[in-house]
Amino acid sequence: SYVLTQPPSVSVAPGKTARITCGGNNIGSKSVHWYQQKPGQAPVLVIYYDSDRPSGIPERFSGSNSGNTATLTISRVEAGDEADYYCQVWDSSSEVFGTGTKVTVL
């Protein structure tokens, strides 16, 4: 089965840029979606189809996807961005989620 690997944690100072990677075999050929999940809450879609933002998601959130790595970038990080982030793809008739990354704002 297809495996998506994310770093367990990323720490970033307020106002700086956080980059969260999602590694998978030839992931650049797939569509990647990203979700933000805060403690005790349901996930929220923040990026879809690699780089599109749903309405209501700040422009500070952006995405890219190429080769074996997809990346979620959060610019000008704020305290409210502290959360778990998951990537997701569709592969071989199954939805696959990444292992998840906890973003800590210092």
Partner 1 sequence: QVQLVQSGAEVKKPGASVKVSCKASGYTFTSYGISWVRQAPGQGLEWMGWISAYNGNTNYAQKLQGRVTMTTDTSTSTAYMELRSLRSDDTAVYYCAREPVLVAAAPFDYWGQGTLVTVSS
Residue 36, helix vs strand vs coil: strand
CB of 11 to partner 1, least distance (A): 19
Q: What is the rounded CA–CA span in Å between residue 3 and residue 96? A: 7
Residues 64-83 that bind partner 1 (CB under 8 A): none
Examine residue 28 and tell whether it contacts partner 1 (CB under 8 A). no
Residue number, 40 or 80, with CB nearest to partner 1: 40
Per-residue burial over 64-77, b if 16 or more Cβ lie within 10 Å, else e, is: ebeeeebbbebeeb
Q: Which of 58, 60, 73, 96 binds partner 1 (CB under 8 A)?
A: 96
**Other Cβ atoms closer than 10 A to 93:** 5
Q: What is the rounded CA–CA span in Å between residue 52 and residue 17? A: 19
Q: Which of 27, 35, 61, 65 binds partner 1 (CB under 8 A)?
A: 35
Residues 40-59 that bind partner 1 (CB under 8 A): 42-45, 48-49, 54
Residue number, 63 or 76, with CB nearest to partner 1: 63
Residue positions counted in the chain? 106
What does the binding site for partner 1 look like in residue numbers (CB under 8 A)?
30-31, 33, 35, 37, 42-45, 48-49, 54, 86, 88-90, 93-100
